[in-house]
Amino acid sequence: MASQLQETQQAADRATAVSLEILATLTQGYTDNFSVRLWNGVTWQPNAGPAPFTLVLNHPGALRVMLWPPQAVNFGESYLFDDFDIEGDMFAFTRWLKHLVDNGERHSFWFRLKMFRRLLKLPRQVNTRDAQLAGRPTKGDHRIARDREAIAFTYDLPVEFYRLFLDDNMQYTCGYFASADEDLNSAQTRKMDYICRKLRLKPGERFADFGCGWGGLLIHAAKTYGVEGVGFTLSQVQAEHARRAIAEAGLEGRVRIELCDYREFHPDRLFDKATSVGMGEHIGHKNLPVFFRKVYEVLKPGGVYLHHTLNIAPNTKMPRWTAFSHKYVFPNGEMQNILFVLTTAANAGFEIRDVENLREHYALTLDRWVRKLEANRDKVIALVGEVRYRVFRLYMSGAILGFRAGIYNLTHSLVVKRDNGRAGLELTRADWYA
C-alpha cells in the first residue's frame, strides 16, 4: 500500500514538473505576465508583477489535451469541456494565446518533436463529458437547406440569451462609436442611423433588409425615416421576435418579415434602397454572385444598396483560430476579402460609390459584448449551459485580436444600380455627418 502511494505521489510530482517545464518553454519571449494554478494548488508565473489572468489546469493531463494532437480546435475545445479554466481578464488570456499561435508557426521540427515527447510524459485524459452542443464543421455547402440548418444552429437560441450581451435594439453586428468609451446602446443606435443616412432613406421609400436579424434596423428606419420595410431571415426565432417587435412599435402596416432565403424571394414591387448587415459571411464565396444579382434584380433603377460585412484582409491567410468559430458558432461561414466583394458587385451591374473600413469599431463592439456576457455569466449558463457560455466568451475575445491586427475588416460598401447612367447621389457626403 505504501509503495502504491509513493508511486502515485511520484507520478503527480512528474506531471507537475513536466507541466511547469512545458509552460516555461511555451512562454519564452512573452513579456506580459499571468499566473498558472495547477490541479494540486501549485502556482507559477513567468514574470514578476501583477497577473491579469490565471490559467487554471484542472487535471495532470490538461496540457496534453490542450496541445496534442496539434489541431486548430483542440485548445478551444479543452476550454469548453473544462480541462482548463480562465480566471480574470479574458483579453489578456487571448493575447497570450496569440503568442502561442504565432510562436508555434515559427518553431522548428526539432522543437516540435521535443515538445511532443514532453506532452507524452503527461497522463492521457479521456474526456467523457457530453459536448452539450453539436459542432458543425463547414464544408462550403451553401444549398438553401444547408444554409437554413446553419442559420438555425447560430440564431435559433433563446432571444433572452442574446439580450444578455447585446444592446437594447438587439444588434448582433458592429456598432459605430463616437469615442472609445461610449456605451453600447449609443453606438448601436448611431450605427443604425449611419446606415440610414448613407442610404439617404426618405419617407415612403421601400426598403429591403437582407438578413434582418431581430428587426432592429427595420424598425429604426420605419420610425425615424418613414420608409416601408421588408426584412428577410432564415431564423424562425428571429422572425417571431421581429414580428412581435414590429407589432409593439405599431408598424404592422409598414414593416413585414419574410421567413425565406434570398434566392426564394420574388417581390411584387421593386425597392428603392436595400442593405444587408452582417449577412455577407453566411452567403459563401460561390453564392455571392447569386446574391448580388438578386439584390440588383429587386432594386429600382437608381436604387442604392449598402453591403455591411466582415472581411478577411487582402493578401492575408485565414487564421488557424477561425476553425473554432466555424465549428461552434458560425457553421458554413465564409469571409471574403473586399476586392472579391467589390468585383462581384461590379460584375452584377452595380457602380461602386463608397467603401469604408470600420474595423476599430468592431473591436470596441466585441469588448462591450464580452464584458456584458461575463457580467451575466450565471444567467447565460442557466439559459444555454456552461459550454455555450464558454464558446461565446472565447470566440468574441479572440476575434478582437483579429480586428486590432487588421486581419479582419468590417466594411461598408455602398453601390448603385444606375438609371441610364445616372447614380442620383449627392455631390458630397456632408449629409452623412450632419
Write out pLDDT tens, residues 129-171.
555 555 565 566 888 888 898 898 999 999 999 999 999 999 9
Residues 296, 350: contact at Cβ < 8 Å?
Answer: yes
Residue 208 and residue 81 share a domain: no
Q: What is the CATH number of the domain that holds 428?
A: 3.40.50.150
CA-based nearest residue to 336, from 357, 311, 362 = 311
Q: What band does 332 get if pLDDT is binned at 50, 70 and 90?
A: confident
Q: What is the CATH number of the domain that holds 22?
A: 3.30.1050
Q: Any bridge partners for residue 414, and if so which?
A: 306, 354
The pLDDT of residue 318: 85
Q: Which of 120, 153, 181 is the last residue of a domain?
A: 120
Residue 132 maps to a domain: no
Q: Which of 87, 120, 153 is the last residue of a domain?
A: 120
Q: Which of 120, 135, 170 is the last residue of a domain?
A: 120
Indicate the pTM of the whole model.
0.93
Residue 177 and residue 110 share a domain: no
Residues 171, 192: contact at Cβ < 8 Å?
Answer: yes
CA distances from 363 to 27, 194, 359 (A): 26, 18, 7
Q: How far apart are CA 221 and CA 196, in angstroms?
A: 7
Residue 112 and residue 192 share a domain: no
The pLDDT of residue 109: 75
Work out whether strand 206-210 and strand 271-277 pair parallel, antiparallel, or are unpaired.
Answer: parallel
Average pLDDT value for residue range 163-191 = 98
Contacts made by residues 14-19, CB under 8 angstroms, sequence distance 24+: 14/121, 15/60, 15/61, 15/121, 15/122, 15/123, 16/40, 16/42, 16/60, 18/118, 18/121, 18/122, 19/57, 19/60, 19/62, 19/63, 19/122
Q: Is the pLDDT of residue 3 over 70?
A: no
Residues 410, 308: contact at Cβ < 8 Å?
Answer: yes
Average pLDDT value for residue range 246-271 = 95
pLDDT digits (tens, 9 = 90+) for 7-53: 666 777 899 999 999 999 989 889 999 999 999 999 999 998 899 99
Work out whether strand 408-416 and strand 351-357 pair parallel, antiparallel, or are unpaired.
Answer: antiparallel
Residue 200 and residue 63 share a domain: no
Which residues, including other chains, have CB under 8 Å from residue 319's CB and lie 6 or more apart? 101, 402, 407
Residue 392 maps to a domain: yes
pLDDT digits (tens, 9 = 90+) for 120-139: 899 987 665 555 555 565 56
Residue 116 and residue 263 share a domain: no
Residue 334 maps to a domain: yes
The pLDDT of residue 255: 98
Residues 172, 278: contact at Cβ < 8 Å?
Answer: yes
Residue 409 is placed in which grid cell? 475588416
Residue 158 maps to a domain: yes
What is the DSSP code (8-state) at residue 262? Answer: G
Enclosing domain of residue 381:
144-433
The pLDDT of residue 276: 98
Residue 207 and residue 101 share a domain: no
Hey, is 130 helix, strand or coil? Answer: coil
Q: Angle formed by the axes of helices 386-405 and 359-375, to 10°?
A: 160
Residue 253 and residue 317 share a domain: yes
Q: Residue 255 class from Cβ within 10 Å (0-12 exposed, 13-18 middle, 19+ buried)?
A: buried
Query: Mean pLDDT for the chain?
Result: 92
The pLDDT of residue 105: 66
Share of the chain above pLDDT 90, in %: 76
Residue 332 and residue 189 share a domain: yes
The pLDDT of residue 156: 93
Q: How far apart are CA 395 and CA 180, in angstroms?
A: 21
Residues 23, 36: contact at Cβ < 8 Å?
Answer: yes
Residue 254 and residue 105 share a domain: no
Share of the chain above pLDDT 70, in %: 94
Our CA dihedral for 288, 293, 295, 298, rounded to 10 degrees, sits at -160
Residue 348 or residue 2, greater confidence = 348
Residue 411 maps to a domain: yes
Residue 179 and residue 78 share a domain: no
Q: Is the pLDDT of residue 4 over 90?
A: no
Cα four-point dihedral sign 73, 79, 84, 87: positive
The pLDDT of residue 379: 98
Residue 182 and residue 89 share a domain: no
CA distances from 34 to 97, 321, 404 (A): 12, 21, 21
pLDDT digits (tens, 9 = 90+) for 378-415: 999 999 999 999 999 999 999 999 999 999 999 999 99
Residue 138 maps to a domain: no
- Number of domain units in the chain: 2
Residue 26 maps to a domain: yes
Residue 232 and residue 110 share a domain: no
